[in-house]
Chains A and B, each alone.
Chain A
Amino acid sequence: MSISAVFDIAGSAMTAQSLRLNTTASNMANAQSAASSVDEVYRARHPVFAAVQQQAMENALGSETSESAGVSVLGIVESDAPLEKRFEPGHPMADDEGYVLYPNVNVVEEMTNMISASRGFQMNVEVMNSAKQMLQRVLTLGQ
């Protein structure tokens, strides 16, 4: 039944968007986490989305060829943007030259990501709601 597939699709999108919101939260939380060496410093993380063909999701009960696609998160990549180096000799984590490394989190970018993720989530909730209404109407057929 096609309508039930809507739940899978919207559900996968909601999972993906909430993961994106999670990475955003972690980036914002760690925006000021200082470190003394390049290896230890936190780097901004972003999820990579990709479409999953529905056909692969439901392990193909034969003839039904489905063209719709859900979303999957391929992985989480760390940003390559340059780290922020601040001269703070009084900081306990300062290196020999007095520099402290701060993460390469761009707070403005994270805010826009957050808005986009929450809007995407909202939209998929609405899609799921309409699908639910459609199914509920079908149940009353002939009454």
Chain B
Amino acid sequence: MAISFESALGIHEKAFGVRAKRAELIASNLANSDTPNFKARDIDFRAALQDQVNNSGQGNLKMRSTREGHITESSTEHFDQPLLYRVPMQPSIDGNTVDEHVEHAQFMENALAYQSTFTFLNSKFKGLTSAIRGE
């Protein structure tokens, strides 16, 4: 019997990566809240997570780079899901579509979800540790 981290940790590991990516996106929206013509962007979380799960399910066959300069495979943090544009509630005259309050709420919600994912992951690790110790 082998303990596979892949199956033990489940979806939470992938969700962690997507949440972190989303935090970065929303942070850039908030940073550009005063930049003219900046369009707020976000991802479809469900689709992005599904994408991550599907990609890692295809076995761990990786291309080998035998020479310097070979293009490496994209890391797990990269996702192919297209970035979407947020629909502004109150369009502003300078072409900026960042709504500070919406973005702030989304950022906080994302941070909370990140923490709960973390808690799940942590308890998985705790379970594994106690299984290994056999106490």
Contact = CB atoms under 8 A, between A and B. Distances in A.
Interface of A: 1-3, 5-6, 9-10, 12-13, 16-17, 20, 49-51, 54, 62-71, 116-117, 120, 123-124, 126-127, 130-131, 133-134, 137-138, 140-143
A13 B21 contact: no
Contact of A123 (B17, B33, B72, B118): B33
A2 B32 contact: no
A118 to B, nearest CB: 12
Interface of A is mostly: helix
Interface residues of B, number: 38
A127 B129 contact: no
A141 B78 contact: no
Contacts, number: 113
B27 A49 contact: no
A71 B36 CA distance: 11
Contact of B24 (A12, A68, A71, A117): A68
Nearest to A128: B27
Nearest to B126: A142
B24 A63 contact: no
B107 A142 contact: no
Given A2-B24, A134-B115, A12 B75 contact: no
A51 B27 contact: no
B33 A120 contact: yes
